[in-house]
Every structure is written in structure tokens, then in C-alpha cells.
Amino acid sequence: MPPLDWQLGVVTSLRDETASVKTLTLALPQWMPHRAGQHYDVRLVAPDGYQAQRSYSVASGPERVGEIELTVERLEDGEVSTYLTDQVVVGDQVEVRGPIGGYFVWEVGMGGPLFLVAGGSGVVPLMAMLRHRAAASSHIPTRLLYSIPAPGSILYRQELDALQSAQNDLEVFYTFTRTSPPGWRGYARRIDRSMLAEVTRPLGPTFLTYVCGPTLMVEATATALVELGLAPAHVRTERFGPTGKEHSP
């Protein structure tokens, strides 16, 4: 494994995902394939030497050679996320190191069935897994349960709709915790044990689970899954605070 060095990525495109979430594409001079679920550290250095550092999950699959996509949620008082979502323009350089992590990762070779549970922007590393799965033309039975406050907060909506089909055995379930779309007949509450049991029933008694979201949502989901009989070793979690994925190193 090469040493984890900082490198200057070049922003090659910017895309609005929602009103407060943006995806940056970075071309990396020392690109290497990541494992879906890994993250990069981003470091900003002010002229006076002050540094701020945060971690952002890679949203793209490892099949995208030479570049990575980072999806960043703008936090009102986030000193890194506001810079990345408000200030950065195409052609800017951003200092990053990665890919980082070996626990919260999934690759087609690890098999399944696969159950992904996302809270808010916790969907980002899970999207990398789904993109990797699609690029590998995998038919591993997969369910994504995605909890968001309202329809406008869904990330990657069109792509998720396009990815799911009966042929490749991927199904996406949304649950809206604050505002549901008009006429919505699906879930409209926080994730709970009965919801988890319903969504995972077609996967059989055991499956690999990845849960990413705010701390309390992750705790509740992991606890409920173990209560439902899933082995703790099959439940991998990644937490971020309720204020988002922005944190100091």
C-alpha cells in the first residue's frame, strides 16, 4: 500500500444534488482505485497557516479512473463545507489524501445479499457501493432503505430510479421523517424494527448490512437489526454527527 500522502486534486466539475448538497469531481494526479465506502480527507490551509480538515466519503465507484466524486452537504457553520459548496469553482485545486478506511467497505467479491441503510447524506458511501455493483453488472440481491426528512432532500434520485430494476434485484425504499410527497403510500416515519423486518424479508435470514447516517439513527438501526437476529459482525456502521459529516480529524 503506498503511503497516505496529500495531493492536489483539480476540480473538473460541480453538480448541484439538492439546494444544500453539491458533488465535486476531482481529478487526482496520484489517483488509485478506492474500495466502495472509503473516504478522503480534505484539508484547507489559510494564508496564515490555519488548517481545517474534514472527511468526505467517495460517492463515485472505483471504476471511474483518474478521478473521484465527493458529495458535500453545506452546513451553516461548516468552515470546510461552506468553502467547498460556495467558493470552489472548476479549475480550483483542493488538497486531499486517501482513499482511507477498510472496515466500512463493500466489494462485489464480498458477496451478499446486501442491505444498505442511509440517513440523509449518509447515502453517499452507499451510493459508491451501488455504483460499483452496477459497474460490475452484479445481480447480488440488494435493498437500500433511505431515510430523509422530505422529498427535496433525496440525493441521486434519478440515478437510483434508473438503477433499480427487478432484473438486477435492486430495490430502493424511502422513508420520509418530516414531509411525504402528496399521495405517498410508502414509509413516513423513522426507521424502526418492523420497517427493517419488512424491507429485508426478501433477502433471507442473513445478509451484509451497511448503515451510514447520524449517530442516533445508526445506533437505533444497528440495535434493531441485531434484535431481529442478524449477527453483529454482519452489521457495519459509519456514524456522523447530526450536524452532518463534517468533523475535525
User: Which residues make up the interface to other proteins (CB under 8 A)?
Assistant: 1, 3-4, 39, 41, 55, 97-98, 100-104, 215-216, 236-243, 247-249
Least spacing, CB of residue 57 vs other proteins, in Å: 9
DSSP 187: B
**Taking the CA atoms of the chain, what radius of gyration do you get in angstroms?**
18
Least spacing, CB of residue 68 vs other proteins, in Å: 15
E strands, the chain, in order: 7-16, 21-27, 39-45, 51-57, 67-73, 93-100, 114-119, 142-148, 170-176, 208-214, 235-240
Least spacing, CB of residue 105 vs other proteins, in Å: 8
Cβ distance to other proteins smaller for residue 81 or 164: 81
Least spacing, CB of residue 170 vs other proteins, in Å: 25
Least spacing, CB of residue 6 vs other proteins, in Å: 10
Which strands, in side-by-side order, build the sheet including 170-176?
Answer: 170-176, 142-148, 114-119, 208-214, 235-240
Cβ distance to other proteins smaller for residue 199 or 225: 225
| 160 touches 90 (CB < 8 A) | no
Cell of residue 88, nine digits: 470552489
Taken in order 211, 215, 217, 218, the sign of the CA dihedral is positive
User: Environment class of residue 227 by beta-carbon count within 10 Å: exposed (0-12), middle (13-18) or buried (19+)?
Assistant: exposed
Cβ distance to other proteins smaller for residue 6 or 184: 6
| Secondary structure (DSSP) of 66-113 | TEEEEEEE--TT-TTHHIIIII--TT-EEEEEEEE-SSS---GGG---
Cβ distance to other proteins smaller for residue 9 or 98: 98
Cβ distance to other proteins smaller for residue 12 or 243: 243
Cβ distance to other proteins smaller for residue 29 or 249: 249
Least spacing, CB of residue 218 vs other proteins, in Å: 8
Question: In terms of Cα–Cα distance, which of 89, 94, 90, 121 is closest to 18?
Answer: 121
| 221 touches 196 (CB < 8 A) | yes
Least spacing, CB of residue 238 vs other proteins, in Å: 5
Cβ distance to other proteins smaller for residue 3 or 205: 3
